[in-house]
């Protein structure tokens, strides 16, 4: 599986050490090409020159530290840019809300033509992270900041790929293989959650987009075939078949198998325009014990 990973990443920083710790995932998701680009971005709550200068000084210092750290990994150092921009204010003399800061992150990524947004969150309920996920038109890597405290190469030993039977969801397989190759992961799990076919639970748990119709007993064959596609990347692959609500069940599988990263694709057919990544993806992002790389596949 020869898949190009990300070449231009926007890393959203807020000045905290926990946000900076997410930078340790960059070498695992970027191709080792010196022409690659990393944009360190901070949304400033005030447009005052003094505040912008302070933010730029912080970003330049962080860029220098990141460059030095990257050199120690022995991998080609990407081109690192810094960018600070004021978030638009909703009301005069009041700081912008978290949603406007999120808008600044998404707008900057779109203008820069970034193919990945990297950000951290203290727990999945962080409002900035949620809004970025709602608005982003590109892939997002969300890292739980409370699990990481310093910039260090991310240790990714096992990757979990949840599949729903659709070809769009299967687009996560080659990306997972490429990440595994870069990060040195040797194990993977492909998982499928079997939904209730009848009764009240089937209406509550079933997403509004269609799964591939598996007759009972054929889900295992589907997972075995998907596993072969990852075994070709040199990993030991296990399969997991669970029953219930997909989001919580995928999160539970990540905890049980000890996944260091979840790689998944979402086509966002939740029927809810405020949740373009889809209900299942949203549930996983909130409940997952591991960082989540969400690929936005569209239709």
Whether 2 is covered by a domain: the verdict is no
Q: What is the pLDDT of residue 268?
A: 56
Q: Is the Cβ–Cβ distance between 165 and 212 less than 8 Å? A: yes
What range does the domain containing 94 cover?
8-147
Q: What is the pLDDT of residue 162?
A: 94
Do 167 and 235 belong together in one domain? Answer: yes
Q: What is the pLDDT of residue 195?
A: 76
Whether 152 is covered by a domain: the verdict is no
pLDDT band, residue 205 (cuts 50/70/90): low
Q: What is the pLDDT of residues 209-253, one digit of tens each?
A: 445 556 667 888 999 999 998 987 789 999 999 988 888 899 999
Q: What is the pLDDT of residue 3?
A: 59
Whether 3 is covered by a domain: the verdict is no
Q: What is the pLDDT of residues 38-93, one digit of tens each?
A: 999 998 877 778 888 999 999 999 999 999 999 988 888 999 999 998 876 545 45
Do 227 and 120 belong together in one domain? Answer: no
Q: Name residues whose C-beta falls within 8 Å of residue 19's C-beta, 6 or more positions apart in sequence.
A: 12, 13, 119, 120, 145
Question: For every residue of 132-143, which 3-state class applies, written as one string?
Answer: HHHHCCCEEEEE
Last residue of a domain, one of 113, 147, 181: 147
Do 142 and 246 belong together in one domain? Answer: no
CA angle at 30 for the pair 24 and 36, rounded to the nearest 5°: 110
Q: What is the pLDDT of residue 210?
A: 46
Task: Report the DSSP beta bridge partners of residue 41.
Answer: 12, 83
We report the CATH number of the domain holding residue 54 as 3.40.50.620
In this structure, of 31-40, 152-161, 183-192, 277-286, the range with the lowest mean pLDDT score is: 277-286
Q: What is the pLDDT of residues 96-147, one digit of tens each?
A: 567 788 889 999 999 999 999 998 876 544 567 777 877 888 899 988 766 5
pLDDT band, residue 271 (cuts 50/70/90): very low
Do 224 and 105 belong together in one domain? Answer: no
Q: What is the pLDDT of residue 1?
A: 46
Q: Is the Cβ–Cβ distance between 246 and 207 less than 8 Å? A: yes
- Check pLDDT > 80 for residue 278: no
- Check pLDDT > 90 for residue 282: no
Going through 169-227 in order, the beta strands assigned E by DSSP cover 187-194
DSSP-derived 3-state class of residue 287: helix
- Residue 256 to residues 32, 158, 242, Cα–Cα distance (Å): 32, 12, 12
Kindly state the tokens that stand for 19. 């946000």
Q: Is the Cβ–Cβ distance between 187 and 157 less than 8 Å? A: yes
Sign of CA dihedral 2, 139, 81, 143: negative
Do 35 and 137 belong together in one domain? Answer: yes
In angstroms, the first-to-last Cα distance of the chain is 23
Whether 35 is covered by a domain: the verdict is yes
Do 143 and 163 belong together in one domain? Answer: no
Last residue of a domain, one of 147, 172, 204: 147
Do 234 and 105 belong together in one domain? Answer: no
Q: Is the Cβ–Cβ distance between 70 and 78 less than 8 Å? A: yes
- Mean pLDDT calculated for residue range 15-38: 88
Do 135 and 183 belong together in one domain? Answer: no
**Cβ neighbourhood burial of 43 (10 Å; 0-12, 13-18, 19+):** buried
Q: Is the Cβ–Cβ distance between 263 and 159 less than 8 Å? A: yes
- Check pLDDT > 70 for residue 263: yes
Q: What is the Cβ-side half-sphere exposure of residue 152, based on CA atoms within 13 angstroms?
A: 7
Do 95 and 216 belong together in one domain? Answer: no
Phi, psi of 115 (to 5 degrees): -100, 5
Structural domains in the chain (count): 2
Q: What is the pLDDT of residue 147?
A: 56
Whether 119 is covered by a domain: the verdict is yes
Do 195 and 129 belong together in one domain? Answer: no
Do 93 and 199 belong together in one domain? Answer: no
Q: What is the pLDDT of residue 125?
A: 44
Query: Helix crossing, 127-135 with 98-111: angle to 10°?
Result: 40
**Cβ neighbourhood burial of 256 (10 Å; 0-12, 13-18, 19+):** middle
Whether 162 is covered by a domain: the verdict is yes
Residue 262 to residue 141: CA distance in whole angstroms: 10
In this structure, of 34-38, 48-52, 147-151, 165-169, the range with the lowest mean pLDDT score is: 147-151
Residue 119 CB: number of other CB atoms within 10 A? 25
Last residue of a domain, one of 90, 125, 147: 147
Q: What is the pLDDT of residue 218?
A: 83
Whether 228 is covered by a domain: the verdict is yes
Do 133 and 163 belong together in one domain? Answer: no
Whether 153 is covered by a domain: the verdict is no
pLDDT band, residue 33 (cuts 50/70/90): confident
């Amino acid at each position: 599986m020869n898949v190009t990973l990300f070449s231009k990443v926007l890393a959203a920083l807020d000045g905290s050490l926990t946000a900076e710790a997410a930078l340790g995932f960059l070498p695992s998701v970027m191709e080792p090409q010196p022409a690659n680009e990393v944009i360190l971005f901070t949304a400033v709550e005030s447009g005052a020159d003094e505040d912008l200068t302070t933010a730029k000084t912080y970003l330049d210092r962080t860029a220098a530290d990141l460059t030095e750290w990257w050199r120690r990994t022995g991998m080609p150092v990407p081109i690192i840019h810094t960018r600070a921009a004021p978030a638009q204010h909703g009301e005069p003399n009041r700081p912008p809300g978290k949603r406007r800061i999120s808008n600044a992150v998404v707008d900057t990524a779109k203008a820069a033509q970034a193919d990945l947004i990297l950000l951290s969150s203290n727990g999945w309920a962080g409002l900035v992270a949620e809004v970025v996920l709602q608005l982003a038109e590109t892939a997002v890597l969300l890292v739980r900041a409370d699990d990481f405290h310093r910039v260090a190469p991310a240790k990714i030993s096992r990757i979990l790929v949840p599949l729903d039977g659709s070809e769009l969801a299967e687009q996560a397989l080659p990306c997972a293989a490429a990440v595994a190759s870069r990060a040195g992961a040797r194990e993977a799990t492909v998982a499928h959650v079997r939904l209730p076919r009848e009764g009240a639970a089937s209406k509550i748990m079933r997403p509004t987009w269609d799964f591939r119709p598996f007759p009972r007993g054929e889900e295992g064959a589907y997972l075995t075939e998907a596993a072969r596609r990852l075994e070709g990347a040199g990993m030991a692959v296990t399969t997991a078949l669970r029953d219930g609500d997909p989001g919580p069940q995928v999160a539970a599988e990540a905890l049980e198998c000890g996944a260091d990263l979840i790689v998944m694709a979402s086509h966002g057919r939740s029927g809810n325009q405020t949740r373009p990544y889809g209900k299942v993806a949203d549930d996983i992002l909130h409940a997952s014990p591991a960082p989540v790389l969400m690929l936005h596949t569209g239709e």
